[in-house]
Amino acid sequence: MSTLTKSAVQLPPMSLRVGKATAKTAKAAPAWSLRLARSLGAENAVDLLVHQHRQIKLGFLKAALPGPWRSRNFHRLMRLLAVHEAAEEAHVHPVARRALRHGREVAARRRHEEKAAKELLISLWRTGPDGPGYLRRLNEARRVITRHAAREEREEFMALRQAVSAPRLRMLGAEVRLTQAYAPTRPHRWVNNEATNKLAAPVLGPLDRALDAVRHRGGT
């Protein structure tokens, strides 16, 4: 589970084509949803998530730096990873599963990769920025998550741009933003799909944020 094997079955090029379900998904979103997206300042979900992928890559580099800021950078990275994956698992992968040709295979591969990455992140979280083996675990997680992000952009995000209308992608961006506002801020092993993310957010989200506030006040 600690690495993503090269032997995983590659999806055919047809996975980037629009399937029959696309015609329904690509229809213009209702006017009320567009108004809601605008009121939330929503941006295209794919653009938002790709930007966060760049932030995550930079976050790994910052979390590796020695010095007094390492702990802060580590916790910022873990929080970004947690809310990013929560939004993808709760909203983005389900849309891909329904809208894309070979969508079930695409979404299943992403969930498998995220489950493997989450095991590494749990180990990294338990080690902490000052624990033994921190840099080794950080680099292992970085390699796995960077590969996952590249596959996500290539196999899923490119296809979503073709299969889903621009208004719907903006609405999806609003859903991503809302989810990230209250999602858990650290990795939880059993929270790894649409249902568990939506069930866990009202409980684990506030709990994690309360613990973050205690840590912040304590200066750790």
pLDDT at 48: 97
Domains of the chain plus CATH, in order, are 41-215 (1.20.120)
Please tell me the least confidently modeled range out of 12-21, 167-176, 198-207: 12-21
DSSP letters spanning the chain: --S--TTSPPPPGGGGSB-HHHHHHTSPPPHHHHHHHHHTT---HHHHHHHHHHHHHHHHHHHHS-STTHHHHHHHHHHHHHHHHHHIIIIIHHHHHHHBTTHHHHHHHHHHHHHHHHHHHHHHHHH-TTSTTHHHHHHHHHHHHHHHHHHIIIIIIHHHHHHS-HHHHHHHHHHHHHHHHHS-SS--TT--SHHHHHHHHHHHHHHHHHHHHHHHHHT-
Residues 60-93 pLDDT 10s: 999 999 999 999 999 999 999 999 999 999 999 9
pLDDT at 215: 82
pLDDT at 41: 53
pTM: 0.79
Residues 42-59 pLDDT 10s: 689 999 999 999 999 999
pLDDT at 29: 53
Question: For residue 35, what pLDDT band results from cuts at 50, 70 and 90?
Answer: low
- For 88-111, what is the mean pLDDT? 94
- For 154-173, what is the mean pLDDT? 95
pLDDT at 217: 80
Mean model confidence pLDDT for the chain: 85
